[in-house]
Amino acid sequence: MLLRFFGRGSAFTDEHNSAFFSDGGSLVLIDHSISAFNKLRKLGTDRFTESGKTDRICVLVTHTHSDHISGIPLLVHYAFYVWDIPVTIAVPSDEVGEQLRYCLANVEGCDEQAYSIVPADSLDWVEKVIPTKHVPSLDGRCFGYLLNIRGKKAIYTGDTNTLVPFLPYIGDDTELYTEISVVDSGVHLFLGDNAEQLKALSEKGVKVFLMHLDDEQFIENAFRDTDISLAPLF
């Protein structure tokens, strides 16, 4: 698998969804909650990078719900004052970038030298920023990504209530990291409506990993006789 996870839980769980991968001395985080920050702080950064020494941290943001971005300000502070590592925050749109910039500068008081905010599609690993639907209050501000990690493709849906925007980018050799929910809230990908489609993708050779889980045991049981897996925890 291309991604590993500090946590794979949904908003009201103890370990929020947060993925990562490394490229040389770069540690790339996909969203970063308080629970993920606490794990990273305790473990340090160097064990996560291929080179054994982290010279850059990049956070790829999907949307601005607190279970996805609450750890970013503390990460910026800690990386600046303790690790002496620059943090790059990669945003999917100008609007999301402006909201994060305001929060970091005016609410959190992060040192302006501690971080930079860049468009996500300026990163080597991002092939496509994919708009999706999540909650109505964040219409136009929720995204997933098509990633290229060491020459291999991964789709990361972020929080979504539909697979439709991602289907054109899913090939037989793609790893699909998608959220799934037991509760039919209308704002997440409901298990009852999407299980068969995920099974069909898996049978075609797509490697499917499930994340942002509200009931791990129920979801694991639902896919027990398939090749679909829960997102791999570190």
Q: What's the pLDDT band for 14 if we cut at 50, 70, 90?
A: very high
| pTM (predicted TM-score) | 0.96
Q: Based on the number of CB atoms within 10 Å of its own CB, is 186 exposed (0-12), middle (13-18) or buried (19 or more)?
A: exposed
Give the model's pLDDT for residue 46: 83
Convert the pLDDT of each residue in 165-179 to its tens digit: 999 999 888 999 999
**How many other CB atoms sit within 10 Å of the CB of residue 135?**
16
In sequence order, what are the residues at sequence separation of 6 or more whose Cβ sits closer than 8 angstroms to the Cβ of residue 153? 127, 146, 147, 169, 171, 173, 174, 175
pLDDT tens-digit readout, 73-122: 999 999 999 999 999 999 999 999 999 999 999 999 999 999 999 999 99
- Taking only the tens place, the pLDDT of each residue in 184-223 is 999 999 999 999 999 999 999 999 999 999 999 999 999 9
Q: Residue 50: pLDDT above 90?
A: no
Which DSSP symbol is given to 83?
Answer: I
> Mean pLDDT over residues 36-43, rounded?
95
- Which segments within the chain are labelled E, that is strand? 4-7, 18-23, 26-30, 56-60, 87-91, 115-119, 126-131, 143-149, 152-156, 175-179, 207-211, 229-230
What tens digit of pLDDT does each residue of 147-168 get?
Answer: 999 999 999 999 999 999 999 9
Average pLDDT value for residue range 136-146: 97
Instruction: Grade residue 48 by pLDDT with cuts at 50, 70 and 90.
Output: confident
Pairwise CA distance, residues 40 & 46, whole Å: 10
Distance CA 18, CA 130 (A): 18
- Confidence (pLDDT) at 173: 87
Q: How far apart are the first and last CA of the chain?
A: 12
Domains defined for the chain, CATH in brackets:
4-230 (3.60.15.10)
- Average pLDDT of the chain to the nearest whole number: 96
84: helix, strand or coil: coil
The angle at the Cα of 16, spanning 112 to 206, to the nearest 5 degrees, equals: 105
Per-residue model confidence (pLDDT) at position 223: 97
